[in-house]
Amino acid sequence: MASSTAERADEEACRVALLDASVKEEWQVVAQHNHHGGEGEGGNKQQLWARVWEESRKLWDIVAPAIFSRVVTYSMNVITQAFAGHLGDLELAAISIANTVVVGFNFGLMLGMASALETLCGQAFGAKKFHMMGVYMQRSWIVLFLCAVLLLPMYFFAEEVLLLTGQSPELSAMAGRVSVWFIPLHFSFAFLFPLQRFLQCQMKNFANAAASAVALAVHVFVSWLFVSRFQFGLAGIALTLNFSWWVTGAMLFAYVSCGGCPDTWHGFSLEAFAGMWEFVKLSSASGVMLCLENWYYRILVLLTGNLKDAAIAVDALSICMTINGWEMMIPLAFFAGTGVRVANELGAGNGKGARFATIVSSITSLVIGLFFWVLIMGLHDKFALIFTSSSVVLDAVDNLSVLLAFTILLNSIQPVLSGVAVGSGWQSMVAYVNIGSYYLIGIPLGILLGWLFNLGVLGIWAGMIGGTAVQTLILAIMTVRCDWEKEAMIASTRMDKLSEVR
């Protein structure tokens, strides 16, 4: 009796599912008829351009402020190093190593973990589950704070780590002290990154841009006050960077909590402690995925430093990496914009909209990349004059300019595809792709070309570009073959699962 009742229930469920599918299909046919009916080819072209224009507007609402915010953040580090350089060569080296190696390592991991919010908040915004966005941000605060605590030994034992990498005892000791002074900066990442992504996912990037602009002005003034006026030395430099980052976080939190996000922020909630395991898994996958990318080209400088007569090569490579770093702010902004747009459309159950957002973002970023590729190729023997007048270094940069141009071109599309992965929640899969492409293909190939074939920095860099090319190809295949309607269903299931109160 019970089995027959269960069978009838299953049959009824199947009929309901078929009816729902039938109704959905009929509505799609009607919508397509209304959308295309009675219009010729010219009308279809007008509709396509209207869709491209609308999608581009939504994309640039995120990308433009994101570019500004990233350039400002990059500039704050440049200003910090400029003030350190006026204290002495050793002080500049200590700040650079502490900021690039120790803080940079943790920055990449925590930034990646915070990008889980781009998946969850972006999809929740698309699904109109606005109240969950504030809960997700609080979960991210908890996870990132615990991660920040676990990473603290890197700051306390930075001197020993740097000695193991072959740095001089004097430099290692000073960089170790500076690293400890950067601990407040380290904890600001756990607070600020979730705030930035929370606002970004609801198209409030103007708040991020405004806070960054104010923080830059504060940073310049406080750096002058503490270093030039009060002569606080290295401690003053570290204090100014700590202060400026926390000022940014305080301004954004004030905006959120004082009425800037009435639909998505309803105050602190115990619900943030529910469903933590699923959140931790996605955050960890995001952290691994992005930190592997963040560390990749840092290894290029490390490998180059181990070449014979590496001084000129390192100087030339540093100039190229600086140019690449500035230009990279644009693709990274497209990474953010693509992730949000794809997540929004998937959260709304619009798989075709997510696919269209991917196409528009990819083409736009590629066009910008082609522009900079042409610029570098055309000015291959001149752009290094911004940094040096040494004819030896200029020649070395000229020899590397082709690799720089192709790195910029590849980086115009690779972050967009990574943004698609974040928006879709593919972080775990892409983490494996990054390990294989970067660390099993790119770096070994670079070492092979650099040392075995005696191509030096050209060989190392060419090999690592090969790793990036493999990763970009794999991500492109994943994106082209993606079943977007299935991804929309997965996003809906994820929203329901993570919205449950346990």
Q: Can you give the pLDDT at residue 31?
A: 44
d(CA 320, CA 398): 10
d(CA 117, CA 94): 34
**Residue whose C-alpha is closest to residue 422's, from 200, 208, 185, 264:** 200
Task: Please give the torsion angle defined by the CA atoms of residues 103, 108, 110 and 114, in that order, rounded to the nearest 10 degrees.
Answer: 140
Write the CB contacts of 271 (distance below 8 Å, at least 6 apart in sequence).
135, 501
Average pLDDT across each block of 10 residues of the chain; the chain has 502 residues. List them in order: 43 42 42 46 79 92 90 83 78 79 84 86 89 92 94 92 80 89 94 93 90 92 88 86 93 94 90 82 83 73 61 73 83 90 91 94 94 93 80 86 91 91 88 89 89 84 89 93 91 73 44
SS3 for 105?
helix
Q: Can you give the pLDDT at residue 41?
A: 58
Write the CB contacts of 116 (distance below 8 Å, at least 6 apart in sequence).
140, 279, 282, 283, 285, 286, 427
What pTM, to 2 d.p., does this model score? Answer: 0.79
d(CA 425, CA 271): 22
* Structure tokens, 135: 């809960």
Q: Can you give the pLDDT at residue 43?
A: 67
Task: Provide the CA 475 distance to its chain's centre, in angstroms.
Answer: 16
Q: Can you give the pLDDT at residue 149?
A: 96
Q: What is the DSSP string of 200-232?
A: HTTT-HHHHHHHHHHHHHHHHHHHIIIIIIS--
Q: Which residues of 343-371 are buried (b: 16+ CB within 10 A; e: fewer)?
A: bbbbbbebbebbbbbbebbbebbbebbee
d(CA 77, CA 326): 12
* Structure tokens, 110: 């925590």
SS3 for 275?
coil
d(CA 118, CA 425): 9
Q: What count of other Cβ atoms lies within 10 Å of the Cβ of residue 444? A: 12
Residue 288, amino acid = V
Residue 481, amino acid = R
Query: Do 239 and 226 contact (CB within 8 A), yes or no?
Result: yes
d(CA 214, CA 459): 43
